[in-house]
Structures are given as C-alpha cells and as structure tokens.
Chains A and B, each alone.
Chain A
C-alpha cells in the first residue's frame, strides 16, 4: 500500500513535467494545426543548454529559465522559417509530420555530434527529501511541481485576462475569422510559438533536473507521454493537457509499481493509441474539434 502511495507521489512529480510539455505541444497544435514532432528534440536541446550553463556555474533554476528562453526563440524561428512557409504552399499534413520528424532527427544527431552519445547529469540537484501526505519526494521534484503549477496558472491568466490571450484563443479556434476581426494572426502565432517553445524548453530542463542522468534520447523518450497527455485531454486544449499529464504520469508510475517496470512507457503508448482509435477528441475536446481530427 505504501508502494502505491509513493508511486502516486512520483506520478504527480512526473505528471507535472509531462503536463508542462503537453501544454506547450497542445498550444502549438491549437495555433498552427501542426503536430510538431520536433518538440522532443527541442526538449533535449534545452536539457543540453542547461547542462552547458550548469557546468559553467550557473544555478539550475536560472539555467531552466535561460534554457526555456533559448528554445522559445528557436521554436519561433523554426516555425517562421520552415513550418509556416510549407503550410502556406499547401503542404499536406502527412508531409508536415515527416518534416517535423526529420527535423527532430537532425537536431538530435547534431546534439550528439557536439555533446557525444554518453550520459550526462546535472549532478546532485535534488537536495533534501520531503515527506508530504505520505509521498516521498525530493526538494527538486517539489520545486518542479510548484513551478509547473505556477506556469499553468500564469498561462491560464494570460489566456483569460489579457487581450493577447483572447487573440490566441480566437486564432486557435478559427484563424480566418480571427484575421477578419483584425487580429494580426502572424504576430499572435509568433508569440504563441515563443510561449509554447519556452514551455517545451522548461520541460526539457525540468526532465534533466529530475532524472538521475540523461542522454540525447531524453526528449524523444518523453515526447510520447506528452502527446498522450495532450490527446487525452483534447488536443488544442491546454487545460485538458494539464489534467492529461497528471493522469498519464500517475498511471504510468502505478503500472510500473504494480507490474514490470519495463512496461512503464507502454502505459502512455496504450493511452495514446486507444484515445486515437476510440475517442480522438480526448476527454475534454469539444465536438467541433473532432472535425479537425477526422478526415479533412
């Protein structure tokens, strides 16, 4: 029983990072209707940028902010320079997936060329362990949970209280209509990609902080759980992604605790496949979003 509770605690910590990444992924899909598979490698990039900074004495949390910012900028440039023009020329959705997967592969192996294939570590970042409500979590994990919660709150406020946020939601739901209402959809896209790219970067560094060691496959390993979380919650819906992240995180840890730990990832895979086949719009996707997912 103690094992279960600890697994849940662990699941919340993992789930927080998954939620962080899933929200960014979801926002990108919402704004540009692109499944950006490069997202995984971008997280890896952030982790290595963070590594570089930490090795030069920068504090881990500052490294997270800087890593997030770097990937935020890279994401905007990536979207503007490669993805948006391709979409404008009428490139089909399947070709866009092939492009983002290929770009992810390129980025991943460029990182390997420079940083080598061996594992790296941020070193002892965890600090003291805390016992809360029966959960045993490290200070680092708790900090990540707090960070994620604050970022989610910040995003929520942005989306609901600011003009920019409303513009983002409008562009997400109907780009042409938004444009005819005078919204500068290109500028909104840029900002959305920066924000979601930053979330991607933050997730990447957070992953590196919470794992003992990591290598160039860090991003691609966690991308699937994040996509699973995003789809579970209803792709394009940031709030759904948050909840989805928790569900995926906790269920994965529970499955690992109860049965073979090797099958931890399989839980996320199964969730994603089942959702796509049974209920593509996710738990909270509105009926209109189903149209985006069905043939079209």
Chain B
C-alpha cells in the first residue's frame, strides 16, 4: 500500500522537523539568538548517530572512510547525536558572543554553515566527504518491514513527546520570561542582573540538543546522510516554520511546521508543468518557502499563532501558555 509508506515518511519527517523547529524557536524566537547555522547542529547529530551505529570504516568493503564506527545500540546513538548537537551548538554560540549587530551575526552564521559544509565535503577521510555516509543500520531491521516502519514512527513520536516536555521547562515560567527579556533587550537584561552570555550558551546547547536529536532520528530512518542534506539554506526552511507559525510560541511554531509541510506537499501538486525537470517539485518547494517567509514578515510578522503572555489582572492562572 503506497499511501501507508507515504504516511510513514510524512510522520517521521514531521516529527523530526518539529524537534528541529522547537530547538530553533528556543534559540531565535524565544531567546533572540539569530543562529542561521542551525542546520550544522542537525548535521552534527546525524553524523554522530551514523558513526556510532556503523561498524569500522573498513567494513562493507571499505568503500567509505570515516572516523568512529562504534557499532553502538540505537538508543545510545540517539543520545550521542543529541549530545553532539549540544556541543556543536555551544561552539557555534561561542563564535557569536562578540557584540555585533544582529544582521552581521546572522551573515557570519551563514558563512560558518557554508564553511563547515565545504570542509566536511572536501575531507574524504573525516566523514567520507561529499559522498556522505550510507548503510546506516536500521534498529528494526529484523522485523517485518511494515512493522519496522511504524515502530520507527513510534520512536519519533516518543522523542517528540519527551522533547516537548523538556522544551516547556525552558520556554515557560521564570526562565522563559528571562529568555524573552534577553531577546527584547539584552542590554537592559544585563542591567537587570541577567548573565546574558551564560544564558545564550545554555540556550544554544539545549537548542543544539534538539537539532542533534532531529538529525540522528532522520539519519537512522533514511539510512544515509550526506552534505546535500544540510546545505546552508536548510536553516531557512526551519526559520520559515518559526516565522509563519509564530515566533516565540511553541504552539505557534508547531502549527507553522504543519502548515509549511502541507504547503510544500500540496502546493507542488497544483503547479502547472513549466518544464520537465524532475527536480522541479523541490525547486518549487524552495520558492514556496521563501515566498511564505517574506509574505509573513511583510503582513504578519508575529505569525499565525502569536506568542501569548500570561495574564495577572484577573487573578487567573499564572501558567504561561507560551
């Protein structure tokens, strides 16, 4: 049943996209850290997962060369991916500590993203260069294929559930408030006694962990990972979900991810055949993404579901809807 397979793919992609968007929203939407190199933490998680679950590089005829190859179990590899994302996220955060204009920092991040991709592609011994890594073992390979697929969906769903609970700890309550204050005015936040540098690094570590987990889950599902999966513009795809959905709002960006996913799938089908180029749907997808982002920045920068702050006047619950 082709539609069943299609549904599985959609759900896995949606789940991993949600994790990444949540992480990026924590960094950018909530805390104001313009990390346009976010895709690098996703890649870090994916590669780490791969080198953890693969065997030594000499195996399988030695057609790919890479570091690591620890043949670790699936859950450990996932955790390693999340951890790698956190570490790489913090490293990226360190480069952004100098007080530059936000747009300068953003461009610097894009350059970092491009540079890392170039270096990884060029060095064939590190992560098998531009060919990337393949034959990443599937944890459910012994099961019936249909069951294996849905088992993976289950894993992704579980990660999303746990991930969301962890996310809420950071985006709500006093810490959520403090991060948003840092976003709104980091100088005033410093003057209010907040250690802005420390907060930024923590946020980039946590956001990086989300991205790393997202990448790890994807790599495990696809079975491979190469530089073409993480070109620097991929960060813009996640950014689009954040902006369209509602910056700073967990619910909003979740809805945004769903909207963008639907748009990309459905919008492409209504496209008249301009040329017979097979990659056209993907190209058009980028046009849709770019246009949605600009339209929302122009007409509704707060997004579809804007961030809502808790109300205190009517003595209602101080639980932040975030």
Interface residues of A (CB under 8 A from B): 35, 37, 82, 86, 91-99, 101-103, 105-106, 108-110, 112-114, 116-117, 224, 227, 260, 262-263, 265-266, 269-270, 272-273, 276-277, 280, 292-296
Contacts and interface: CB of A to CB of B under 8 A. Distances in A.
B219 to A, nearest CB: 24
A265 B243 CA distance: 31
A116 B277 contact: yes
B175 to A, nearest CB: 23
B283 A294 contact: no
Contacts of A293: 100-101, 104
Interface residues of B, number: 45
Nearest to B115: A269
Residue of A82, A86, A98, A113 with highest tally of chain B CB at under 10 A: A98
B131 interface: no
Contacts of A295: 99-101, 187
B294 A82 contact: yes
Interface string B90-108: 0000010011111110111
Contact of B104 (A35, A108, A262, A270): A35
Contact of B287 (A106, A227, A266): A106
Given A93-B102, A273-B95, A103 B115 contact: no
A113 B286 CA distance: 11
Contacts of A260: 122
B103 A35 contact: yes
Contacts of B233: 101, 105
Contacts of B289: 102, 105
B100 A35 contact: no
Per DSSP, are chain B's interface residues mostly helix, strand or loop, or mixed?
helix
A93 B105 CA distance: 10
Nearest to A89: B298
Contact of A273 (B111, B236, B286): B111
Contacts of B287: 105-106, 109-110, 113
A263 B122 contact: yes
B114 to A, nearest CB: 6
Contacts of B107: 35, 37, 97, 227
A114 B283 contact: no
Interface in B233-288: 233, 236, 239-240, 243, 274-275, 277, 279-280, 283-284, 286-287
Given A93-B101, A97-B34, 8 more contacts: A93-B103, A95-B297, A105-B290, A113-B274, A116-B277, A117-B279, A262-B118, A266-B119
Nearest 8 CB-CB pairings of A with B: A262-B122, A93-B103, A106-B290, A269-B115, A102-B290, A94-B102, A109-B283, A105-B290
B290 A273 contact: no
Contact of B112 (A99, A112, A273): A273
Contact of A266 (B36, B118, B286, B293): B118
B55 interface: no
A109 B104 CA distance: 25
Interface centre among B118, B240, B283, B301 (most CB of A within 10 A): B283
A95 B301 contact: yes
A90 B112 CA distance: 28
Contact of B118 (A35, A96, A265): A265
Given A97-B103, A295-B100, A113 B275 contact: yes
Contact of A294 (B95, B99, B103, B236): B99
Given A98-B239, A102-B236, A266-B118, A276 B104 contact: yes
Interface in B8-65: 34, 36
Interface in B278-322: 279-280, 283-284, 286-287, 289-291, 293-294, 297-298, 301
B110 interface: yes
A96 B112 contact: no
A92 B274 contact: no
A175 to B, nearest CB: 17
Contacts of B118: 262-263, 265-266, 269
B275 A116 contact: yes
A102 B275 contact: no
6 contacts: A105-B286, A109-B283, A227-B107, A262-B122, A269-B114, A277-B98
A284 B150 CA distance: 60
Contacts of B187: 295
Contact of A113 (B103, B104, B115, B277): B277
A233 B121 CA distance: 30
B297 to A, nearest CB: 5
Contacts of A91: 297, 301
B275 A94 contact: no
Contacts of B101: 93, 292-296
Nearest to B292: A102
Contacts of B240: 102
A97 B294 contact: no
Nearest to B286: A109
Contacts of A272: 108, 111
A260 B119 CA distance: 11
A216 to B, nearest CB: 9
B307 to A, nearest CB: 16
Contacts of A292: 101
A265 B187 CA distance: 36
Contacts of B290: 102-103, 105-106, 109
A129 to B, nearest CB: 29
Contact of A117 (B115, B277, B294): B277
